[in-house]
Structure 1
Amino acid sequence: MRLKSNIAFTSLFLVLMILISACGNNAGGNTASPAATNQSGTTGVNETGSNETEAGKLDPVELTWYFPNTPQNMKDVAMVQDAMNVIVQSKINAKIKLIPVDWGTYDQKMNVMTGAGDTFDLMFTAPWSNNYFQNVSKGALLPLDDLLTEYAPTLKAAVPDSVWNAARVNQKIYGAINWQIIAMPYGLQVNQSYIDKYKIDLNAVQKYEDMEPYLAAWNESYDPLNYAKDDADPFTRQPPYFEMDSIGEDTSVGWIRLDDSETQVFNQYASDEFKGFVQLMRKWYQAGYFPKDAALRTSVERAADAKAGKISLFGIGSPIKPGVELEAKASLNVDQKFKPLSKAIITTNRSIATMTGISATSKNPERAMMFLELMNSDKELYNLICNGIEGVHYNKTADNVIEKVKDNNGYNPVTDWLFGNQFNAYYTSPDAVGIWEETLELNLTADASPLLGFTFNPDPIKSEIAQTNAVYAQYKDALLSGTADPDKLLPEFLDKLNKAGAEKVIAEKQRQIEEWKKIR
């Protein structure tokens, strides 16, 4: 198996990861076609709106929607919200209140709100942000099966059944899937300026270790690699690079190998791959490629570095999709090159990398689902939240192609994948036209994990999962930033994992997989 140096990212890379993934850590951006055909053979577009409900027969309601985003000018957010509400009010007699939350504080805020039982309607959720499985486990999300069938037929039909099945926990769907790319390889991302300066031959790079000569040649006044403790985990964010797949939460103990037909669950942290990875991080730390305080640094500090022009030599762990280089250029005005180092694999967590859930405290779940139907079927509404207002935040250059206003543009979230069916978004470059056809072809032809469609129910071992996750949180920064000597710290970490219930977690995952295999 290959060793993956999925290490620290600069702020620029974090933004790119957010744009691309979903996960993503996830996925997506602004290079979509408004009428691309999806896997199910439909366009995902209902020109007449949601369920054709007569708005006048519905009582007026206000819906609140929490989602993570980079800070926007709130006056522009209000402008976009007002324009959206013209459509939403006319079609379902509702108003939407947009509540964007900074990425760095989103998880904490949603944990506090759901823990306190605060009343609201909609929230972004995924395995990697505002953890979907934890939200289901603690009863923070409503089951959506009946609501989807009755109030969101276009949304339900646009997403293939195999992908909906990936969102099931205890046989129920708790998140409305934002339909976008679900099959991506992972790999390397490098600024074009550094490729030119250091004469980087990406064709020769087959694994992350192959970038070591360029790390050694780095002569800028800032670190070529940059760790942040509140980032998505640099080991577990891309199991396919290690030819593995996670089960449930990416960080929880118990993965499988993609080439294992028996789907035997094992402790990924006790694997040769994890050991080799943290040893490589240690090697790079000792060589000076990480800052000395790497284990303590936050993404806010790293963002300040990026704002000052301190951009890393390269980024590791980037999900790579058709048009990603055009997307980086359009959204950040940066020339990037991406090199895939793994196969494109469809996994359960990749399939549910971006979803919108309805809060268990919502007073209007039916209307919330009607709104989600609009967000996934009404192109005008969807592009309002994605791109802002025509003539203010962007201008059309062709039928389905737009150009963002570069000066004084107070609204440019570049997270189409976060809001709904990304195949309904405008292209942001004429060079991108046709990319969504390529994307859908990739979705159709990519290899699937042997666990695609299996969703783990954490309820029987909630305590053990919480305990093992706490142990991992205690040790991960020291190990993954290279700060600690893994020969000394790794055995201690594994011992504490076992004492916290790792074997019980693995056994329960195996049991559920065996039961699933009998009925699939």
Structure 2
Amino acid sequence: MKRSRIRSRIIWAMVLVVLMMTASACASKEEKAAETTKPTAAATTPGEEQKEPALEPVELTWYFPSGLQNIKDVQAVEDEMNKIVQPQINATIRLKPVDWGAFEQKVNTMNAAGESYDMVFTAPWSNNYFQNVAKGSLKPLDDLLDQYAPKLKASVPAKVWDATRVGGKIYGSINYQVVAMPFGASIDQRFIDKYKVDVSAITKYEDFEPYLAQWKEAFPPFYAVKGSSDGFTNQPPYFGMDSIGDDSLVGWVKLDDSELKVINQYASPEFKSFMELKRKWNKAGYFSKDLMDAAQVDAIAKNNKDVYTPFSIATALKPGNAAEVKEKYKADVVDKPLSKAIVTTARAIATMTGISETSKNPERAMMFLELINSDKALYNLMSHGIEGKHYKITDADKGVIESIVDSGYQPSSDWMFGNQFNGYYVSPSQVGVWEETIELNNTADASPLIGFSFDGEAVKTEITATASVWKQYADIFANGLDDTDKVLPEFLEKMNKAGAEKIIAEKQRQIDEWKKTR
């Protein structure tokens, strides 16, 4: 009997073992089945965090405008950049510089053809940001910024990001730099010395007139430039106004108007008066007779041994502007502000990088933007080239470099590529400018429209039509090529036929709605 009980217990024990093994096997199969629904992770050792799945290799293209003669070594720079980029995000960057004069047409052609590319320079004044958004050419970036570019997102104040929003969404990655600056004149020191210019007495452009006749005999005239700014639309604060959307788009507000009434700036006394001044100066011979493109003017300015330009019209006078002029043109200039420094939407979004709607790898493109805005070595490679080949460090402690003349890579557009405050100083006189600029950004008065973004979807046909009209007259107004009393009325008539009043009414409607939420 005793042996029977022992045998029975052994049998039950064996049954229990079999049941436990069966249950364990079933559980193991269920776990493996569950694991097949999860991303595959790299193997880890005890105490080591599990890694994200390996990124597949991709190629990213980046289009931006440049003076191609200044960046002949772009391939060498690209190769060095990829030594930083590839190990971190398994991407290869392909730089696609396009000559300034052909840039907008190139991008428009790619967009119209639905050509796949990844990143592109965009701003209200070049490869028009608002028009790109209206056409659906740029991807919204809000989620991409939050997920793949936290450092970039945190490096730019929220009010500046708000300036990029169209319909509540961000479509451009800010290349953070000065967002508040006065406008005015940059005056060549030799001009000041020769004609005893009392800079302190100059408060408006008309105050230069006593010197102009003398200047005409000694120096070249102002360069009449194709596609240049008319001097009005690119400095609204000088005239006490702020633009809404594209600077040249009809419909501005006056900075001191608490009601924020939208007006036709082209029909204002301020516009007419300034265009009459340009015409007066042209008739007096203060402008070159022939229109030139930007590359021609740049070459003339660089080769002019006597003077850079006696004074510029409508210069945005950011901290360090004089140092940059000296670096690029070897000229000493004095900056004379003629307006207050105002934080405006146009200034906040003056230089951005967008991700194309046709990009096959928008996530990786945003990872790259995170790198170019946070990795100082990568940013300075793009901005200044290769140390020892394109520049040399003259003061390592203060971050000062000196370009090597005719080295093959001098884009002189670090403001176009990322956070400028990560960059080297290009001359000893520029040391401290980044701190000054950040202070200016933080303390300058803000436009009453900051944070408002105009959505042009409802009037996109009229925007296109009025932009076409403006293009017909822009060079005339910029260079004083015809009598104001003749061309201004016909310009205004064409603008109205193209839908100017409808645009103004839509802007007013949106501003009135926005005011209710402030």
Using the size of structure 1 for normalisation, the TM-score is: 0.86
Matched, 1:385 2:349: no
Cα distance change of structure 1 residues 86 and 331 upon mapping to structure 2, 3 Å threshold: same
Q: Does 1:299 align with 2:288?
A: no
Amino acid at match of 2:439: E
Equivalent of 1:92 in 76, 89, 93: 89
The residue number in structure 2 matching 1:327 is 324
1:162 aligns with 2:172: no
Which AA in structure 2 matches 1:208?
Y
CA distance in 2, matches of 1:452, 1:438: 22
SS of the residue corresponding to residue 450 of structure 2 reads coil
Distance 2:385 2:475 in 1: 38
Structure 1 or 2: more helix by fraction: 2
Indicate conservation of the 8 Å contact 1:128/1:232, yes or no: no
**What is aligned with 1:453?**
451
Map Cα deviations across residues 345-387 of structure 1 (whole Å, 9 max, x no partner). Answer: 0001110111000000100000000000001111111111111
The 4+ residue runs of structure 1 with deviation greater than 6 A are: 52-56
Question: Which stretch of the first structure deviates more once superposed, 150-159 or 389-398?
Answer: 389-398
- The 1-side partners of 2:63 and 2:148 are apart by 21
1:298 maps to amino acid: D
Distance 1:440 1:332 in 2: 26
Deviations 1:270-321 (A, max 9, x none): 000011011111211221112344xx44334434543552853211111112
Q: Verify the 8 A CA contact 1:387 1:394 in the aligned structure 2.
A: yes
Q: Does the Cα contact within 8 Å between 1:226 and 1:312 map onto a contact in 2?
A: no
Deviations 1:110-158 (A, max 9, x none): 1111121111100010001110001101111000000000000000011
Q: Kindly indicate whether the alpha-carbon contact (under 8 Å) linking 2:343 and 2:444 is maintained by their aligned counterparts in 1.
A: yes
1:211 aligns with 2:208: yes
Partner SS for 1:86:
helix
**Deviation per CA, 1:69-101, whole angstroms, max 9, x where unpaired?**
222566521111111101101100011001111
Which residues in structure 2 correspond to 1:61-72 (within 5 Å)?
Answer: 61-72=58-69
**Range moving further from structure 2, 55-64 or 377-386:** 55-64
Equivalent residue for 1:469? Answer: 467
Unaligned regions of 5+ residues in structure 2, if any? 1-48
Q: Which of the numbers 401, 405, 408 marks the counterpart of 1:403?
A: 401
- Match of residue 39 from structure 2: none
Counterpart CA distance in 2 for 1:200 and 1:73 is 34
Determine if the alignment matches structure 1 residue 112 to structure 2 residue 109.
yes
**Higher RCO (C-alpha under 8 Å, 6+ residues apart):** 1
Q: Distance in 2 between matches of 1:451 and 1:87?
A: 40
Kindly tell me: are residues 147 and 506 of structure 1, through their superposed partners in 2, closer, same or farther at Cα, counting changes over 3 Å?
A: same
Distance in 1 (CA, whole Å) between partners of 2:416 and 2:104 is 15
Q: What is the match of residue 512 of structure 1?
A: 510
Once residues 92 and 375 of structure 1 are traced to their aligned partners in structure 2, the CA distance between those partners, rounded to angstroms, is 12
The residue type paired with residue 354 of structure 1 is: T
Aligned equivalents of 2:303, 2:409: Cα separation in 1:
22
Question: Counterparts of 2:386 and 2:297 in 1: how far apart (Å)?
Answer: 31
Partner of 2:438: 440
Q: Which amino acid aligns with 2:481?
A: T
Map of 2:130 onto structure 1: 133
Distance in 2 of aligned mates of 1:251 and 1:150? 35
**Structure 2 CA distance, aligned partners of 1:53 and 1:324?**
49
Q: Distance in 1 between matches of 2:277 and 2:469?
A: 22
SS at match of 1:190: strand
- Is 1:371 the counterpart of 2:368? The answer is yes
Aligned length: 467
Answer whether contact 2:401 2:424 (CA < 8 A) is retained: no
Please give the secondary structure, in 1, of the residue aligned with 2:314: strand
Q: Is the 8 A contact 1:125 1:355 kept in 2?
A: yes
Write the distance in 2 (CA, Å) between the matches of 1:172 and 1:53.
34
Instruction: Give identity over the alignment, percent.
Output: 60
Equivalent residue of 2:353, what SS? Answer: strand
Gaps of 5+ in 1: 1-51
Residue correspondence of structure 1 range 155-304 to structure 2 within 5 A? 155-220=152-217, 223-293=220-290, 296-304=291-299
Residue type at the aligned position of 1:337: V
> What residue identity is the alignment partner of 1:174?
Y
Letter of the structure 2 residue corresponding to residue 339 of structure 1: K
SS of the residue 1:68 aligns to? strand
Q: Computing the radius of gyration over CA atoms, which structure comes out larger, 1 or 2?
A: 2
Question: Aligned residue for 2:354?
Answer: 357
SS at match of 1:339: strand
Measure the CA separation in 2 of the matches of 1:242 and 1:448.
Answer: 16
Which amino acid is 1:394 matched to? Y
Letter in 2 for 1:142: K
Distance 1:386 1:268 in 2: 37
1:153 equivalent to 2:150? Answer yes
Q: What is the rounded CA distance, in whole Å, between the counterparts of 2:473 and 2:70 in structure 1?
A: 38
CA RMSD of aligned residues (A): 1.9
CA pair 435-53 structure 1, distance change in 2 beyond 3 A: farther
Are residues 224 and 201 of structure 1, via their aligned partners in 2, closer, same or farther at CA, if it must alter by over 3 Å? farther
- What is the one-letter code of the residue matched to 1:443? N
C-alpha separation in 2, matches of 1:449 and 1:219: 38
Within the candidate set 396, 419, 428, 1:430 is matched to 428
Contact residue 301 and residue 308 of structure 2 kept, 8 A: yes
- Relative to structure 1, the CA distance from residue 447 to residue 391 in structure 2 (aligned partners, 3 Å threshold; closer, same or farther) is same
Partner of 1:346: 343
Answer whether contact 1:224 1:314 (CA < 8 A) is retained: no
Q: What is the alpha-carbon distance in structure 2 between the residues aligned to residue 432 and residue 292 of structure 1?
A: 36
Contact 1:55/1:89, CA 8 A, preserved across alignment: no
Aligned 8 A contact 2:216 2:286 in 1 = no
* 1:489 Cα deviation after fit: 2.1
* Structure 1 residue 199: Cα displacement: 1.9
